[in-house]
A and B are shown apart, each in its own frame.
Chain A
Amino acid sequence: MTETRRVFHEELDAIRSDVIRLGALAGEAIEAATNALLAADLAAVEKVVANDRVLDDLTHDMEQRTCLLLAQQQPMAADLRMLVTVLRVIHEIERIGDLMIKVAKAARRLYPHEIDPKIRGLIDRMRDQAAAQLRLAIEAFADRDVARAAALVDMDDVMDELQKELFQAIFSVRSPDDSTLQLAVQMALVGRFYERAGDHAANVADRVQFMVTGHFSFEPSNADG
């Protein structure tokens, strides 16, 4: 193999590693944003917002490096599919970071109201579910594992169920006055943000399917739907 080609393959490996790193950063954002919301920690909210800049910068950097590789190396077959996949999945992951900013900022809007214990429990579970889905999607990408990618479809059903449960819990809160109505709206939105984060993770998995096989074999989820 020529030196130019060796450098190309090293850069492919570096980009693959950075997708994993981006996924880890988004996972940390899910954790930090949820903690900020549940603890009503406004300083932590600021930190979540500031940390998102790291995700954005890494995403843009990866997009530029990928474009450069496409221009310089004209990759084919698995290399081409990997780079096209990277261009798609980095934005799915980056969007998860953006959604977590919205989750964290809900803490500001709710302050100083307490969140109902049942709703807190559901938010906890949605956090865990979103984090698990993202982790699985990133692992599937890293290991080029189609079977694990396909498992994401079932996991997304769990998230949808949690969202339904959350809505039911919101409606069951008694004596709706202005403040509880504000709480209810914010909680419904937060539930939606986790659900969309799960969709983005499922989209990553869908792209992994294409990256490995060159085909899409299961239905893409609709992150904007």
Chain B
Amino acid sequence: MSNIPPTPLAPRPTVAPATEADAAPSPEADTDSPPVFETKQLSVSYGSALAVADINMYIRRGQITALIGPSGCGKSTLLRCFNRMNDLIPDARVEGTILYEGLDLYGDDVDPIEVRRRIGMVFQKPNPFPKSIYDNVAYGPRVLKMKVDRMDDLVEQALRRAALWDEVSGKLKKSAVALSGGQQQRLCIARAIAVQPDVILMDEPCSALDPIATARIEDLMVELKQDYTIVIVTHNMQQAARVSDITAFLTAAVNEATGERHGELVEFAKTATLFTAPADERTEAYITGRFG
């Protein structure tokens, strides 16, 4: 399956292209891959509580970007911004800008449902629908009324891409809930792939899995990045080091005046650099286990 060509969500001629001056910092020597997302002064609040502040970063096409940091640093909040999942949380407020393919993701005329089709998500705990394996994969295309020549082919293709086909091809009508945890998570990835997304967001996709299932998902991520841009939140630094191209380290900063904590981006670099010779001492302290 080839990747769908990046097309704008909606014509938005009023959005000015990014200029050199306000461009987000980018990891060095990384200019060959175009940005899919660009955040500018991105902040998210829940009610009056600031969750993350002033995030400026790129997510580049065809790469795996890992978001790491201690609990409460806002990495999942940041991830949810990329497909507007925060819209579903009462009192959540997103400020600043996220450009997707150069267009404002939070623009008034952008359909959040279409956003979530283009930008799929896989969650921490595998969450298959209580339906058959086949129906789980076919669910998205049916609901979205996608034009599909043969649903059987689409289901097979998605399951193959998710490295699950060989294990389930003989029992597609069996309940998805009967699968192992690792298989369920790959089914969720197949379900995300079935609607032909551009980007896959993964929120700690292996934290509920054993090491073997984890290794399979990691292999799968590396395979999938040929066709999809992937952003992963992980608590497992070794996982980030193994699979990602770029890593962003976030931490919880304390507002000295109010004592309240909010997440901020500390360092954003090539993974190989960040895990062997980080530039910021807070990154060093975190990844060497001296805090957090």
Binding site for B on A (CB under 8 A): 1-2, 5, 8-9, 73-81, 213-215
Contact = CB atoms under 8 A, between A and B. Distances in A.
Nearest to A8: B289
A76 B277 contact: no
B101 interface: no
B289 A81 contact: no
Contact of B288 (A75, A213, A214, A215): A75
A76 B288 contact: yes
Contact of A78 (B238, B241, B284, B291): B284
Interface centre among A2, A76, A213, A214 (most CB of B within 10 A): A76
Given A1-B291, A74-B237, A77-B287, 9 more contacts: A5-B290, A74-B238, A75-B288, A76-B237, A76-B276, A76-B287, A76-B288, A80-B275, A80-B276
Nearest to B241: A76
14 contacts: A1-B289, A8-B289, A9-B289, A9-B290, A74-B237, A74-B238, A75-B288, A76-B241, A76-B275, A76-B288, A77-B275, A77-B277, A81-B277, A215-B277
Interface of B: 237-238, 241, 275-278, 283-284, 287-291
A80 B241 CA distance: 13
A76 B292 CA distance: 14
A74 B241 CA distance: 11
Nearest to A75: B288
Contact of A1 (B241, B275, B290): B290
Contacts of B283: 77
A159 to B, nearest CB: 31
A214 B290 contact: no
A170 to B, nearest CB: 46
Nearest to A213: B277
A8 B290 CA distance: 11
B290 to A, nearest CB: 7
A8 B238 CA distance: 17
Nearest to A4: B289
Given A213-B277, A214-B277, A215-B277, A77 B288 contact: yes
Nearest to B290: A1
A210 to B, nearest CB: 9
Contacts of B278: 77
B271 to A, nearest CB: 11
Contacts of A77: 275-278, 283-284, 287-288
Contacts of B275: 76-77, 80
A47 B275 CA distance: 45
Given A74-B238, A81-B277, A5 B289 contact: yes
Nearest to A214: B277
Nearest to A215: B277
A76 B241 CA distance: 10
Nearest to A12: B288
